[in-house]
Amino acid sequence: MSAKNIDELIALCKRRGFIFQSSEIYGGTQGLYDYGPLGVELKNNIKNSWWKSTVYERDDVEGLDAAILTKQSVLKHSGHEDTFSDPLVDCKSCGERFRADQVPDYCKKEDLTEPRQFNLMFKTNVGPVDDGSSFAYLRPETAQQIFTNFKNVVDSTARNIPFGIAQIGKAFRNEITLKSFIFRVREFEQMELEFFVVPGTDEDWHKEWVESRLAWWENQGVSRESLELYDVPSDELAHYSKATVDIMYKFPHGVEELEGIANRTDFDLGSHSKDQKDLNIKSSVSENKESNAKLALKDPDNNWVVPFVIEPSAGVDRAVLAILNEAYNIEKIDDKERVVLKLKPHLSPIKAAVIPLKKNDEKIVSRAKNIKNKLQALGMGRVLFENSGNIGKNYRRHDEIGTPICITIDFDTLEDGTVTVRDRDTMHQKRVKESELEETFKKLF
């Protein structure tokens, strides 16, 4: 089951501390959100899961963490200065401005102006003079600095194609039509992989990455029935793309893009390279007189080859929204309702709550703290020592935030060394020996 509407999720996120409107105490800023105590854990867990499967569990991917402020030349040669824009229309009746493909139903066609192009990149001043002569862009995607670092990574790791470079980080777009909570925002995070391959093998790699990314989403608890593949038609493809498959998810507001997997050909490395005419570049690139690096490799016959690129690009914020929506359940128990987030344990913000039954009993409290510290030391993520509220409230809260188990310490613990372990999904409780607790806990992951 998933949430009936986005408002249920927004309310849960605010109530329990996942996501807040940014600058809320000053009235908020549109399109900007802050991740609270639980949101930061969920987000980190999603990013770690992506990094683990993309970098650690493969032997052909390296990581990168490049600067966010980006030199103008990079985004000139990538094509962003000229083409990273949306067509905007104004509605003469309501006075609002919309992306041309996202005009709401209440605006009449005859009230709309002709579309005008509007660049989505944010600019900021760099250095001591603020006269517009020295500026940088806040990157609109993480991909470009992967391309500019291609030679650095190859030279420092001795990689040859096929191999990839992965990066997770912030991206900024001055979006005009903001939508559905954290779905389309102005500051967001991306998890991007640029996978460099031998030209001619690109179509097979593209298929393989679509399958591999689908499998990853399923491992995060997003069911296959909630996902659709959209083969982007050629007249909708971005200028650099030979083929793009979008992974679409049934968000509460409709079926929309969760991740895009593009075959970017040799456009990017070709565009950022020097000596372009020597390189047999297949895509159409603009002349580059500024780059000082040849972004190509020698093939076995000693000819220069510009690798093709397959790019799986997923948004972290859209991942948070999809994963929360999938995990959200309301269960009827007798005549009461229980909200429970059935998150996969590796994504749960809190891995276990350790609850002393009597909050003012020194022996029980210190035993509980000791157990919390032992479980925390296993390094599986945050374990919470829960020392407020009654046990019923504790269970309700931990169901709502997706904590897989609650461990209760009571007088019997002092007598016979057993604790109560309550399972989030079944609500089943069992007594477990303290000496077996670590094993029970580890088995969850």
CA dihedral of residues 74, 144, 138, 318 (deg, nearest 10): 160
Shortest Cβ distance from residue 316 to ligand ATP (Å)? 8
Longest Cα pair distance anywhere in the chain, in angstroms? 81
User: What is the sign, positive or negative, of the torsion defined by CA atoms of 349, 354, 357, 360?
Assistant: negative
Q: Which residues contact 307 (CB under 8 A, 6 or more apart)?
A: 161, 196, 197, 198, 199, 266, 269, 296, 297
Nearer to ligand ATP, 246 or 400 (CB): 246
Look at residue 320 and give its three-state secondary structure. helix
C-beta nearest to ligand ATP: residue: 315
Shortest Cβ distance from residue 186 to ligand ATP (Å)? 7
Name the one range near ligand ATP by CB under 6 A: 35-43, 193-201, 312-320, 373-381: 312-320
Shortest Cβ distance from residue 175 to ligand ATP (Å)? 5
Instruction: Quote the CA–CA distance of 393 and 276 in Å, as a whole number.
Output: 66
46 binds ligand ATP (CB under 6 A): no
Nearer to ligand ATP, 258 or 419 (CB): 258
184 binds ligand ATP (CB under 6 A): yes
Nearer to ligand ATP, 139 or 184 (CB): 184
Identify the residue among 163, 188, 249, 395 touching ligand ATP (CB under 6 A).
188
Nearer to ligand ATP, 206 or 318 (CB): 318
Tokens of 411: 């007088």
Number of residues that bind ligand ATP (CB under 6 A): 16
Q: Are 33 and 21 in contact (CB under 8 A)?
A: yes
317 binds ligand ATP (CB under 6 A): yes
Shortest Cβ distance from residue 265 to ligand ATP (Å)? 16
Shortest Cβ distance from residue 248 to ligand ATP (Å)? 10
Q: Which residues contact 112 (CB under 8 A, 6 or more apart)?
A: 89, 90, 91, 92, 103
x/- mask, ligand ATP, residues 119-148, rule CB under 6 A, reads ----------------------x-------
313 binds ligand ATP (CB under 6 A): yes
x/- mask, ligand ATP, residues 190-229, rule CB under 6 A, reads x---------------------------------------
Shortest Cβ distance from residue 171 to ligand ATP (Å)? 7
Identify the residue among 315, 345, 349, 404 touching ligand ATP (CB under 6 A).
315
Name the one range near ligand ATP by CB under 6 A: 107-115, 185-193, 323-331, 424-432: 185-193
311 binds ligand ATP (CB under 6 A): no
Tally of CB atoms within 10 A around 428: 9
Q: Which residues contact 222 (CB under 8 A, 6 or more apart)?
A: 249, 322, 323, 326
Peptide bond into 37 cis (omega under 30): no
**Which position has the token pair 């998150």?**
343
Identify the residue among 175, 208, 412, 438 touching ligand ATP (CB under 6 A).
175
The DSSP code sequence of 104-142 is -TTS-GGGBPPPEEEE--EEEE-SS--SSSSEEEEPSSS
Shortest Cβ distance from residue 198 to ligand ATP (Å)? 24
Rg (CA), the chain: 25
Identify the residue among 77, 80, 139, 173 touching ligand ATP (CB under 6 A).
173
- Give the H/E segment covering residue 164: strand 163-172
Q: Are 348 and 403 in contact (CB under 8 A)?
A: yes
Instruction: Quote the CA–CA distance of 335 and 355 in Å, as a whole number.
Output: 27
386 binds ligand ATP (CB under 6 A): no
Q: Are 96 and 161 in contact (CB under 8 A)?
A: no
Shortest Cβ distance from residue 227 to ligand ATP (Å)? 13
Identify the residue among 318, 367, 372, 422 touching ligand ATP (CB under 6 A).
318
Nearer to ligand ATP, 188 or 267 (CB): 188
Look at residue 25 and give its three-state secondary structure. helix
Shortest Cβ distance from residue 99 to ligand ATP (Å)? 9
Name the one range near ligand ATP by CB under 6 A: 39-47, 106-114, 209-217, 309-317: 309-317
Using CB under 6 A, which residues numbered 228 to 287 contact ligand ATP? 257-260
Q: Are 30 and 97 in contact (CB under 8 A)?
A: no
Which spans of this chain sit near ligand ATP (rule: CB under 6 A)? Answer: 141, 173, 175, 184-185, 188, 190, 257-260, 313-315, 317-318
